[in-house]
Homo-oligomer: A and B are copies of this chain.
Amino acid sequence: MRQYNIVATYSLLITMTFLQEVVDILLAYITESFDRETKVIDFHYPNELLQRNNWELQDEPETLDDILISCRATLKYAIKTAHPRYFNQLSTGLDMVGLAADWLTSTANTNMFTYEVAPVFVLLEYVTLKKMREIIGWEDGRGDGIFSPGGAISNMYAMLLARFKMFPEVKEKGMSSVPRLAAFTSEHSHFSIKKGAAALGIGTESVICIKADESGKMIPADLERKILEAKQKGFVPFFVSATAGTTVYGAFDPLIAISDICKKYQVWFHVDGAWGGSLIMSRMHKWKLDGVERSVLKLTWNPHKMMAVPLQCSALLVREEGLMQNCNQMHACYLFQQDKHYDLSYDTGDKALQCGRHVDIFKLWLMWRAKGTIGFEAQIDKCLELSEYLYNKIKDREGYEMVFNGKPQHTNVCFWYLPPGMRYMEDKEEKKKRLHKVAPVIKARMMEYGTTMVSYQPQGDKVNFFRMVISNPAATFEDIDFLIEEIERLGQDL
């Protein structure tokens, strides 16, 4: 019985044996995850799951064999996000090079704040951000950027930088030195814009929602009207966040028209491309982001979504060099000593909101090396092809109704499934009420059977509908066929 040595590290032999045993468990889990015969999830309700295993923390140590048992139990009840039929979130799939890179990152166990403690990772962040800026089309790839803990924080950074750029005194004096600000974003945009405004002391009421058209794109004329209205009320418009790939519809706001308005009224133009930004890597689809190069200030782009980089990997790209540093630096002299023997511009910590910062860069960098730009392109194109296949398959199929007309711009396919008993109901209100309950029941059954998972939600006055998204490179046409069959199998009696 191998007791864990609670103070010192273990003998090397025991360490190596234990780690290899864990790896064997992980490799078996990966094999299972890619097997369509395996369940996506072995679902249990929270109280039930709490009782199915001993999860409590004790005073006394456990043996290493017990630890292996805990690892197996954790994976037994985990969701298989790599499964080719897991479509529940914008981040799905498991790339083996990305995974290997994440294992290496954990083993290197360091921190992005200084070159001193993360020399290679800091350089790779520099190289990768530059490459991303070149792809956007900023001259010579010039500018700045950072990998942050997710798109919501990246968007918050963007708002923070816009405010500082317009009113640098806000850093010292706070919002009391600044006029009442107004930010603008579409009614379909991500909730992180409002969340950021609440945190930054701007307030959610200062986030003005711009109308979207039927397919979810921001209406530029409404933006201009609302900017003028805000000015009349004495607000200072400082920030427009356009969305490239909305969360639910996958819509791309018209960036050129929006940037023209921003220029006219001197408002900072940000693009939230957390979900759709990756399409810029596809020669076939990048026109949807036309105008992104005009984002005067910054762009959020999450490789952990459409590029299937393991979680978390979110980039904020900033056009102006030095802006992040000026906005966030506090000159902590215990960390950013000015008399170090190397080029201090590689100490990136003082431009971040965080102090310690997790290494998120290596998995993206290594995947990029393995796939090349053309590999990411092929992967993205394939996901869009699958979603077009789904759209074509259901748009005229009996029992389906599309939430918006026309081919989706991203992989989001939004639709209602109407069980046979509801298809010819005459009472529109009653039908709507019943339809609202269909998706939640089918979803619950999917999870109980564990066969597949797809998301649903209401939007505005539209009752619950399915939002199918595809970002998993392992998915195939047959998996799309399966999803449709499964929805019909699980929903026909409703």
Contacts and interface: CB of A to CB of B under 8 A. Distances in A.
A389 interface: no
A36 to B, nearest CB: 12
Contacts of A31: 12, 16
Interface stretch (A22-30, A284-292, A418-426): A22-30
A19 to B, nearest CB: 6
Given A55-B124, A120-B78, A334 B455 contact: yes
Interface stretch (A101-109, A214-222, A486-494): A101-109
Given A104-B26, A355-B152, A373 B57 contact: yes
B7 A382 contact: yes
Contacts of A18: 96-97, 100
Contacts of A1: none
A432 interface: no
Contacts of A328: 195, 198-199
29 contacts: A7-B379, A8-B474, A9-B93, A22-B104, A29-B107, A46-B343, A57-B128, A59-B374, A61-B372, A74-B104, A79-B119, A89-B111, A109-B310, A150-B354, A150-B356, A150-B358, A170-B203, A172-B198, A172-B205, A174-B181, A175-B175, A175-B203, A176-B203, A198-B328, A199-B199, A312-B358, A337-B464, A339-B437, A341-B447
Interface in A10-50: 10, 12, 15-16, 18-20, 22-23, 25-27, 29-31, 34, 41, 43-47, 49-50
Contacts of A59: 372-374
A115 to B, nearest CB: 6
Interface size class of A (residues with CB under 8 A): 35 or more
Interface string A293-332: 0000000000010000011100000000000000110111
A403 interface: no
A71 to B, nearest CB: 6
Contacts of A128: 57
A117 interface: yes
Nearest to A23: B23
A188 to B, nearest CB: 10
Interface stretch (A261-269, A362-370, A391-399): A362-370
Contact of A371 (B61, B97, B353, B355): B61
A89 B180 CA distance: 42
A94 interface: yes
Contacts of A408: none
Which 3 residue pairs of A and B lie closest in terms of their CB atoms, listed nearest first?
A201-B201, A174-B203, A6-B375
B131 A57 contact: yes
Contacts of A47: 343
Given A56-B127, A176-B175, A330-B195, A115 B82 contact: no
A197 B12 CA distance: 46
A257 interface: no
A20 B19 contact: no
A356 B440 contact: no
A4 B171 contact: no
Contacts of A34: 9, 12
B106 A372 contact: no
Contact of A353 (B64, B99, B199, B330): B199
A203 B172 contact: yes
Given A7-B473, A131-B57, A355-B191, A203 B173 contact: yes
Given A119-B78, A353-B195, A355-B192, A333 B156 contact: no
A260 B22 CA distance: 49
